[in-house]
Amino acid sequence: MSNEITYKNLIAFHPGSYVEDIIDDLNITQKEFARRLGTSEKSLSKLINGEDNLSKDMAYKLSKLTGISINTWMNLQNEYEKKILEISDKKVEDEKRICNMIDFKYFKDFGIVENKKYSLKEKIEKLRSILNISDLTYLAEFNIGVSYRNTKEFDEKSIINSNVMLEIASNIARNKCDKKLDKQKLRKYLPEIREMTLTDPSEFYPRLKEILLECGIVLVALPNLRNANINGATKKFRNGSIMLLISDRNKSSDIFWFSIMHEISHILDGDFYTDYKDESHYIEKELKADKFARDFFINEEDYNEFINREDFSRNTITRFSKDLGIHPSILLGRLQKDEIVPYSYLYDLKTQYSVIVSSQ
């Protein structure tokens, strides 16, 4: 435990934190201080670490050693307990607020919970159990140790729902693979993965899952949870295997393949589980993965040569894509992203994928 409990702008200082400061000021060891105080080193250590509350007996001994009154020491304990209750109350209110941001119907539709009415309290309890967390406030923390590919900037609601999807995918994937990631094998499969863009999902998806599993990667496809705003995410498990989540949000063929290769870039670089403390580094790794995904399908030189021709007709796009050996929607999607053609242009070239299955 810690002798300081913090939650948002609330801080509860355990009396042990003040005892620790006194020991530091005296420049002596805890063992010597325990002898001077007339208590065991173990009891002192538990107090300092916030594992035990301050007893009247310990307060009396501290008052004799420091000259600080018993009442002052006991007031520190009382204030700590009041602040802990305040933090607990705040967390309860935040849990209710967070629960109301999550579309609970998603869990019913996906068969995770029974299709019946739940009270707010029951929803919170179910979500804690399903997502393996002690309280829902955990979901409000943006996990920069996980790579997300999102289409909008993350706000609180998006972070919460993205983390919900991540936890569901982790539950599905965590025991599906006992192999460590094999980057060398994954690189060898990249040409075959590229060729899959020309085939139907019913053909390529089972094979893609098989290939990735051979490489120590569990591919999980989930229906998009409202307000999650993510296309993909990756997470590393302790046994060395990787979870790769793909949602069905806006899953036209170009977005699907770009999302897959974006996440594979993170996996190959090994940067998807780096705990960056600087947001600029996080943005940098996302831009790097974007570039990898773009170049994987169309290298910069070929792309620039194509756009310099200034001919973006249907025949030109389909012919150039055929020469590259990729689905034409991938080229069209890049042209749209770069604002060279509008998003409504040749929309019939986009193929809508449906790779979500009821049983992973």
pLDDT of residue 319: 96
pLDDT of residue 191: 96
Map 220-285 to HEC letters: EEECCCCCCCEEEEEEECCCCCEEEEEECCCCEHHHHHHHHHHHHHHHHHCCCCCCCCCHHHHHHH
- Report residue 320's pLDDT band, with 50, 70 and 90 as the boundaries: very high
Quick: pLDDT tens for 223-274: 889 988 888 889 899 999 999 999 886 678 999 999 999 999 999 987 655 5
pLDDT at 359 over 60: no
Lowest mean pLDDT among 12-26, 139-153, 157-171, 218-232: 139-153
The span from the CA of 105 to the CA of 123, in Å, is 11
Complete domains list, the chain, with CATH: 4-100 (1.10.260.40), 102-140 (no CATH), 147-349 (no CATH)
Helix ranges (H only) for 104-200 are 105-109, 120-131, 156-173, 183-195
pLDDT at 84 over 50: yes
pLDDT of residue 224: 87
pLDDT at 35 over 50: yes
Query: What is the share, in percent, of the chain residues with pLDDT greater than 90?
Result: 72
pLDDT of residue 142: 74
pLDDT of residue 220: 94
pTM over 0.85: no
The span from the CA of 118 to the CA of 97, in Å, is 16
Quick: pLDDT tens for 160-201: 999 999 999 999 998 899 999 999 999 999 999 999 999 998
